[in-house]
Structure 1
Amino acid sequence: MSTKVNGVEPVEVSDPKLLFGTKPVKPSKDLIKSVVDPRIKASSKRAKSEGKSITDRLFFYLFHLILLTIYGFYSIFRSLQYVNNRIRIKFLNLAYNPSKTPQIIRDDVNKLSKLPKRLSAVLNLKPEEEEGGGFYGLLNDASELTTWTLASGISTLSIYEYEGTLKNNVEDLRAAIFKKLRDYFGPTSIPKFVVKIPHLNVQFYGLNHDDDDNYKNDVIDIEVSLLSVEDGKATIVELTKTLAELAKKKEISSKNITVDLIDGELTELVGIEPDLIILFTPTLALQGYPPWHIRLSEFYWEADNEDVTYAIFLRALQKYSTCKINVGK
């Protein structure tokens, strides 16, 4: 006998199909097994992890293959470019050879519409085992460059060498410049020159004319300044500290510390900004060249060249003569 609930008489259902549709609901065997045996769940995760790991490895090898392919093509391109540059430089060296004759150099530069008033060059101290390397190779490069600059009608040259080797061997440099000028201009008409180290505020006249007032008072044909890494950022930092100390001691007003003041001080410490900088280096790198002195300078660099040759020197002057300079525009 059925009992009414809230006035409603319950209905008895003998067939479960009437409750759950045409098919009775049965629990999944896999579901039951996974609940009963956790190893099945772990093996499933492991299978998914292995599948993902294989995919990651495939992508890893694919990306490496792409990178190796790009690197291979770039290496071939760079090798061909290097060979092409070296062959071109060899032909330039054959085409332009001053033969230690100043008149040939003058004839070459007289064809140019303009020349820089102040020239600078970045040189490298190459290893001893390389051709033209070592200390004496550097001396030869610096003296050759001085002679070409003078023969071109340029009276101011600054030579930058990172380590300061030339600064530390001024006497050897003076002798090398004197010998090179004698070879080009003859023993009876050797031009007068002065070697300066702006950072130390010292000057050396000719081969051995430091105490010769007549030599000093005479017209100097070329002025050679020696620069190194200590003339770069370190000098600016040193000047900044000095000005800060003076301002702290009330010896100078902060209002008087202007761009013109800093420019004047750095000019005294390093020299005047060059119009043209030639980089005789295998890579386009300034190597710590004084940053304050390159604001308006033009640069010339020949790819894959580290030799100081007349052909590169002349090419730099030719490029400078055709460039358009817009100061402050």
Structure 2
Amino acid sequence: MPGLRQTTAFRTDRDEQGRPLTAFEREKLLQPYLPPRPQPKKQSRTEYPVTAKPARFVHQPRLRPALRTLLHYALFTLIHAIFSIYIRCRQTYHVIIGRILAVIYYHHRTPEYIQRDVKQLDKVPGHLSVILELENGGGGRNDRLETLVAEACEVAAWSACAGVPMLSIYEKTGALKSSLPYLHRRISKALTSYYGSSSSKPTISLRAPHHPSYSPPHSPDLHDSSNGSVVRPQPHLAILLLSSSDSRQTLVDLTRTLATMAQDNKLSPRDISTELIDAEITESVMGEPDLLIIFGDRILLDGYPPWQIRLTEIYGVRDHGGGVGYSVFLRGLMRYAGAEMRFGR
């Protein structure tokens, strides 16, 4: 066991005279307290030096992962090929059917042809709604807006000839709301191209939520003052223009209004019901349409008012790329005529 002098010298790294210890002196100080060094083993003559075995070669599997990867790529390519062939065949089938129906059911801008096509239907929707789209690209905004107005005029003319009393046209950006008098003149011009100067030409009125309505002059009196005979009244088509601002934002505004009235004790929370919300939305925007026709290649509501389509029959042609067409319009009426409205039963 080291004494006090050795312990103090080792800790302070100095001897009794205060002189710093060298490395050799420190080793000499610790030498008596270290364990003895092991003596090397003498090798006998019969023992041979043991040589280290060389590391065994570890085989890395490379063929199986490669085959597995090739199999995955082959299955992926096969699935894509089958799915692509199916999509192409489906698109070709729908295009051929659409072209055939477009040839068979062409209106030739004659109301009698449209009335003949509709006459075989059991019922006609009292409120028809369509979704139109302002095309992106392909010319200036004025050209695209002119195409949109032309499509709206055609749909309005078909609806008037089919005897639909109310038509609502949804366009997301609200471009059709920019000028109601101009749109009214264009629709009147389209109806003139169908009916000519006939007295049976329908009258139209335009309306948009939060916009002043634009209506034509009143229809003539039922009794002719000249000879006293009864004059058949002209059919009338009411057109409602909708946009995305009339959709969810209307529900948000109505919810905020009802919450404010409830906080001010002007309305009891118990009085807030589905019937109240339905009545408010019907008065501010519109009621529930009977049929909604989508002229795109897929069913895309694109921000259409959600509350009003709870019981609406929605029709769209899969893989349809021909835009607004009379054959799609007529097929939508046929689908509605054959639909069974259960209303929860």
Whole-Å separation in 1 of the counterparts to 2:84 and 2:188: 45
Q: What is residue 281 of structure 2 aligned with on the other side? A: 266
The answer (yes or no) to whether the contact 1:205–1:215 under 8 Å persists in 2 is no
Whole-Å separation in 2 of the counterparts to 1:118 and 1:93: 24
Query: Is 1:192–2:208 an aligned residue pair?
Result: no
Query: Is 1:96–2:112 an aligned residue pair?
Result: no
Q: Mean alpha-carbon deviation: is it higher for 216-225 or for 160-169?
A: 216-225
- Give the drift of 1:65: 2.5
Q: Which runs of 5+ in 2 are unaligned?
A: 1-49, 222-232
Q: What is residue 314 of structure 2 aligned with on the other side? A: 299
Q: What is residue 156 of structure 1 aligned with on the other side? A: 166
Q: 1:122 aligns with which of 122, 131, 138?
A: 131
Query: Is 1:204–2:214 an aligned residue pair?
Result: yes
Whole-Å separation in 2 of the counterparts to 1:320 and 1:296: 12
- Give the drift of 1:70: 0.6
* Change in 2 beyond 3 A, CA 1:320/1:282: same
Q: What is residue 339 of structure 2 aligned with on the other side? A: 323
Q: What is residue 293 of structure 2 aligned with on the other side? A: 278
Residue 205 of structure 1 aligns to a residue whose secondary structure is: coil
Greater share of helix? 1
The answer (yes or no) to whether the contact 2:202–2:234 under 8 Å persists in 1 is no
Residue 92 of structure 1 aligns to a residue whose secondary structure is: helix
**TM-score scaled by structure 2?**
0.74
Residue 119 of structure 1 aligns to a residue whose secondary structure is: strand
Residue 115 of structure 1 aligns to a residue whose secondary structure is: coil
Give per-residue Cα distances to partners, 1:142-180, cap 9 Å, x unaligned. 111111111111110001112212122433321210110
> Which amino acid in the other structure matches residue 207 of structure 2?
K
Give per-residue Cα distances to partners, 1:245-271, cap 9 Å, x unaligned. 221222211111111111111112220
Query: Is 1:182–2:198 an aligned residue pair?
Result: no
> Which amino acid in the other structure matches residue 85 of structure 1?
H
> Which amino acid in the other structure matches residue 191 of structure 1?
P
Question: Which 4+ residue blocks in structure 1 deviate beyond 3 angstroms?
Answer: 53-61, 127-130, 187-190, 214-220
Q: What is residue 270 of structure 2 aligned with on the other side? A: 255
Whole-Å separation in 2 of the counterparts to 1:138 and 1:170: 14
* Change in 2 beyond 3 A, CA 1:61/1:239: farther
> Which amino acid in the other structure matches residue 121 of structure 2?
L
The answer (yes or no) to whether the contact 2:129–2:169 under 8 Å persists in 1 is yes
Q: What is residue 182 of structure 2 aligned with on the other side? A: 172
Highest Rg: 1 or 2? 2
The answer (yes or no) to whether the contact 2:262–2:268 under 8 Å persists in 1 is yes
- Give the drift of 1:328: 2.1
- Give the drift of 1:119: 0.6
Give per-residue Cα distances to partners, 1:27-53, cap 9 Å, x unaligned. xx99x75xxx9xx59x75xx5xx43x7
> Which amino acid in the other structure matches residue 83 of structure 1?
T
> Which amino acid in the other structure matches residue 95 of structure 1?
I
Residue 260 of structure 1 aligns to a residue whose secondary structure is: helix
Coordinate RMSD, CA, aligned? 2.7
Q: After TM superposition, list the pairs within 5 Å mapping 1:229-240 onto structure 2.
A: 229-240=244-255
Whole-Å separation in 1 of the counterparts to 2:69 and 2:261: 61
> Which amino acid in the other structure matches residue 334 of structure 2?
Q
Give per-residue Cα distances to partners, 1:92-135, cap 9 Å, x unaligned. 111111111111111111111111111111112224639xx822
Query: Is 1:142–2:152 an aligned residue pair?
Result: yes
Whole-Å separation in 1 of the counterparts to 2:88 and 2:299: 18
- Give the drift of 1:223: 0.5
Query: Is 1:290–2:305 an aligned residue pair?
Result: yes
Whole-Å separation in 1 of the counterparts to 2:314 and 2:307: 15
Whole-Å separation in 1 of the counterparts to 2:220 and 2:75: 67
Whole-Å separation in 2 of the counterparts to 1:112 and 1:304: 25
Q: Which runs of 5+ in 1 are unaligned?
A: 1-28, 207-211
The answer (yes or no) to whether the contact 2:298–2:318 under 8 Å persists in 1 is yes
Whole-Å separation in 2 of the counterparts to 1:236 and 1:323: 29
Identity %: 32
> Which amino acid in the other structure matches residue 129 of structure 1?
G
Q: 2:74 aligns with which of 55, 65, 88?
A: 65
